Amino acid sequence: MPLGLAQPGECIEILKIRGGHGFRRRLAEMGLTSGSRVRVISNGRPGPVVLEIKGSRLAIGHGATHKIHVRHCSGAAMPA
């Protein structure tokens, strides 16, 4: 499912990032790569999707979230 459909409080794992090299590189610099686990803090409209990753918060616009495909975390809880 696209990241834009994730609900606040959910732990999600990034499966695939679609987009150009620059877009993927920019997300990787922020820690968003395939296999990363993040928690959705908020997903309100209008406004960005706010994520927590490795103790930091990150805001991503809704257009970009539809290029990031995720699934719910399985098994173990999200790492701190």
Each domain of the chain, given as residue ranges in start order, spans 3-72
pLDDT tens digits, one per residue of 11-50: 999 999 999 999 999 999 999 999 999 999 999 878 899 9
Q: Judge contact between 27 and 35, C-beta under 8 A.
A: no
Distance CA 8, CA 5 (A): 10
Average pLDDT over residues 48-75: 92
Provide the whole-model pTM: 0.84
Instruction: Please check whether residue 27 is in contact with residue 68, taking contact to mean a CB–CB distance below 8 angstroms.
Output: yes
CATH for the stretch 3-72: 2.30.30.90
Measured CA distances, 13 to 38, 45, 46, 71, 73 (Å): 6, 22, 24, 5, 6
Distance CA 60, CA 75 (A): 26
